[in-house]
Amino acid sequence: MQRRVLTYNQGAETFNLFIGGVSSTINTKALLAAKFTFAEGDVSSFEIVGDDIKANITNTSYDFIASAFASNLDITSLEETSGYLVDIGYRSFTSCSNLTSLKMVKIVSLDTQCLVGCSSLDYNDLVEPIKDLTGISGIQSADLSNGTYNPTYSFDSLVTLNVQQAFVGNLEADFSVLTNIAQQRGFRQAGVMNVDFSALEQNLDYGSAFGYNGTFYNINTSSVLNFKSSMETINGGSECGDLLKAKAAGVTVNYTL
């Protein structure tokens, strides 16, 4: 039996929000709005196509509600194409094991447990749009690994890391344009890190009275951190206190980039 297609249109509009697999439970504008912070009136177009839905959202800045799709086994994909949705909120997709693709134009914030248990997700869709990480309590290891593989991530849009304890799990990554770690303890308790900081040229102590800021506090001693050669003398001719602390704990610090 063919699924009935419902259409709500006001003029010939394009669509900017596409969600796969959810049409059996999100089949009205009101039910769609209930997953986000926009109002029903902000949905100018809405259409069901088989198992999927698509809509045009006119609100230019909105978020997921907390636990918006948590434990939803129907959702297979979500794509937002206008850049109006930039945060992935607390537990937004926790245990969405059939979610395979999540595409957004820009991602500013990833909140705690937002992607934990997304065992089918291709995280490469997610990493490239990250511009700045603010206001989060941590990206857990499960938020950047689907449990099947741990690819090397290239954060080639992340310029500023403006949060404490942004990464709290294992991490293998290239931060090729990261030039500013703006808060203390950005990589605290990061587990095993194999990371290239190829653009960073910053005294991480930035005036700390203690001589260090805990940027790499408690990371696993098996970690390898790679920096530009200029970082070896960034602190008045010597290494900054944060890297000296990491080395004293057994972390390998290379100045070869």
Strand 7-8 versus strand 43-49 pairing type: antiparallel
Confidence of residue 149 (pLDDT cuts 50, 70, 90): very low
Q: What is the pLDDT of residues 3-40, one digit of tens each?
A: 444 444 445 568 999 999 999 999 999 999 999 999 99
Number of domains composing the chain:
1
Q: Can you give the pLDDT at residue 219? A: 85
In a domain, 187, yes or no: yes
Predicted confidence (pLDDT) at residue 210 exceeds the cutoff of 70: yes
In a domain, 220, yes or no: yes
In a domain, 145, yes or no: no
In a domain, 218, yes or no: yes
In a domain, 15, yes or no: no
Q: What is the pLDDT of residues 165-190, one digit of tens each?
A: 777 777 888 888 999 988 888 887 76
Q: What is the CA radius of gyration of the chain?
A: 21
Q: What is the pLDDT of residues 74-91, one digit of tens each?
A: 999 999 999 999 989 889
**Picking from 198-207, 226-235, 248-257, which range would have the lowest pLDDT averaged per residue?**
198-207
In a domain, 24, yes or no: no
Q: How does the average pLDDT of the chain come out, rounded?
A: 85
Q: Can you give the pLDDT at residue 135? A: 60
In a domain, 57, yes or no: no
In a domain, 28, yes or no: no
Domain extent for 247: 152-257
Percentage of the chain modeled with pLDDT above 90: 49
pTM: predicted TM-score of the whole model, two decimal places: 0.75
Closest among 147, 156, 146, 87 to 122, alpha carbons compared: 146
